[in-house]
Structure 1
């Protein structure tokens, strides 16, 4: 009988860097990637907030919630990411004066 290889690891036994996104639905991937788009217009602060949103949505995508709950939660993370960036940007402009 032939042994089936472990797809979670590569040939060197290192963890698969794409394991977090394998098996997700297309809409889960899209909602996970949308917060990281803050990096393009927001620099380091946008990148940090976007990365936090990306990992939060990847975590939510793996939870055993129903699809409507998962969709609303992931949309909430996207909205919170963009609103958080807006608040940080406004606070910076107010303090800068």
Structure 2
């Protein structure tokens, strides 16, 4: 008799888009989502930088660091995201104005 593999509900369907967010503490979710707010302020440039910050913070949230180290590292990513956005926009405006 041939054994058929277990085809769970997500095995052939689309992957769960929210899987990266499941299982995180509330503060990890908040710190992960703060960089994507650049999308509201900066359009495509802000969205690109914010998405990079979001993915970086999601990665840091899953690392086996202590809570204080995670908080500081994730706050650093948030700060770096906003700083990078303002630097890129400043350079862009400087080039446009000549």
- Same structural fold, with TM-score higher than 0.5 when normalized by the shorter chain: yes
Which secondary structure state, in structure 1, belongs to the residue aligned with residue 85 of structure 2? helix
Give the secondary structure class of the aligned counterpart of 1:64. Answer: coil
5 Å matches for 1:5-16?
11-13=9-11, 14=13, 15-16=15-16
Bigger radius of gyration = 2
CA distance in structure 1 between the aligned counterparts of 2:31 and 2:81, rounded to whole angstroms: 12
1:17 aligned partner: 17
Number of residue pairs the alignment of both structures matches: 88
How big is the alpha-carbon RMSD for the aligned residues of Structure 1 and Structure 2? 1.1
Partner of 2:79: 79
Relative to the length of structure 2, the TM-score reads 0.85
Give the alignment's TM-score, normalised by structure 1: 0.86
State the distance in 2 between where 1:24 and 1:12 align: 21
Measure the CA separation in 1 of the matches of 2:29 and 2:89.
Answer: 27
- 1:40-55 residue pairs with structure 2 within 5 A? 40-55=40-55
Equivalent residue number for residue 3 of structure 1: none
Structure 1: gaps of 5 or more residues: 1-9
Give the corresponding residue for 1:62.
Answer: 62
User: Which consecutive residues of structure 2, in runs of 5 or more, have no partner in the other structure?
Assistant: 1-7
Where has structure 1 moved over 4 Å in runs of 4 or more? Answer: none
